[in-house]
Amino acid sequence: MRSRQAQLRVPHRSDTLLPHDQPLILVTGDTNPRRTRGRKVGHRRRSPTAYAPAAQYGNRLAKPFVLTSQNQFRLGPPPALDSRRYAADLAEVRAYGAVDSTARNAHQTETATFWLGSSLTLYTEPLRVALSRTDQGIAGQARLVALFHVALVDTQIATSDSKYAYERWRPVTAIRTSPTAPGVTRTYITWKQLSDENVDARGFSGIHTRSADEAGITLGENVARYVLRNAGRLLGSR
């Protein structure tokens, strides 16, 4: 498989994020290499209505910024198909994720719409708000932005690794709404509150099961802690 390599060098200044002679390298592969469509019960397969190939399947092949490998924090297997947890997951998605759901209230539908999209981009606005309330200088804010996105990208890589290691099928997407909620604002006191609502939203929109998203939160926390502990490898000692 062919790969692409992007290299970034920063100028030599006292407030740069990287030493002037240290390149930042990320190697990424084809985002959609050929793969066999699953046929076993519980095996991941193309979902209606587009039945498109798996999105960003090649993320698991990318070289992380800080993690030592893509599978460094690989999650354990998802709940067994005959387990009570999986039955509860499906029951929740059926009840709240159906397009004509009578269980989902207006606020929950708004929540699903508000969070419809990739967390890679949805978490950028809360970061901007957090930066506007910090007393750090420009250099400190730049480091925070760098670490935030390094952790976010490495989490995407690690998530893809776990996701395609088990090839579990996903609930059929039942709600078709716009990718944004114009005019809707939300207030959060903590990042945990924000992430918990994102987990709820994925179920309300019929996209994911709760156990899958809770596992994703655990994975993200593991990656973030590791990135913060090893930030010096990327940013250089100060």
Q: What is the pLDDT of residue 50?
A: 61
- 165 in helix, strand or coil? helix
What is the rounded distance in angstroms from the CA atom of residue 191 to the CA atom of residue 172? 28
pLDDT in tens, 113-126: 888 877 778 888 88
Q: What is the distance between the alpha carbons of residues 117 and 120, in angstroms, rounded to a whole number?
A: 9
Interhelix angle 138-166/210-229, rounded to 10 degrees, is: 130
Strands 3-8 and 24-29: antiparallel
What's this model's pTM, rounded to 2 decimal places?
Answer: 0.71
Domain extents in the chain: 81-168+176-235
Query: Residue 184 carries which side chain, given as an amino acid letter?
Result: V
Q: Above pLDDT 70, what percent of the chain?
A: 69
pLDDT-derived band at 210 (thresholds 50, 70, 90) equals very high
pLDDT tens across 14-43, in order? 333 333 333 333 333 334 444 545 467 666
Q: How many CB atoms lie within 10 A of CB 148?
A: 18
How far is it, in rounded angstroms, from Cα 193 to Cα 207?
Answer: 20
CA gyration radius, the chain: 20
48 within 8 A of 145, measured Cβ to Cβ: no
> Rounded CA gap, 33 and 54, in Å?
9
Q: How many residues does the chain have?
A: 238
Q: Taking residues 170-178, what's their average pLDDT?
A: 43
Whether residue 172 has pLDDT greater than 80: no
* pLDDT for 158: 95
At how many degrees (to 10) do helices 84-97 and 210-229 cross? Answer: 100
pLDDT digits (tens, 9 = 90+) for 63-97: 999 999 999 999 999 888 888 998 888 888 888 88
Q: What is the DSSP letter of 205?
A: T
Mean pLDDT, to the nearest integer, of 222-226? 95
Instruction: Average the pLDDT over 97-107 and give the result.
Output: 87
Looking at residue 80, its pLDDT comes to 87
Burial 58-94 (b: 16+ CB within 10 A, else e): bbbbbbbbbbeebebbebeebbeeeeeebeebeebbe
Residue for token pair 């893809």? 160
If you average pLDDT over residues 130-139, what whole number do you get? 86
- Token pair 């910024």 is found at 65
CA 70 – CA 58 distance, rounded (Å): 11
pLDDT bin (cut points 50, 70, 90) of residue 174 is very low
DSSP, res 69: S
162 pLDDT band, cuts 50/70/90, is very high
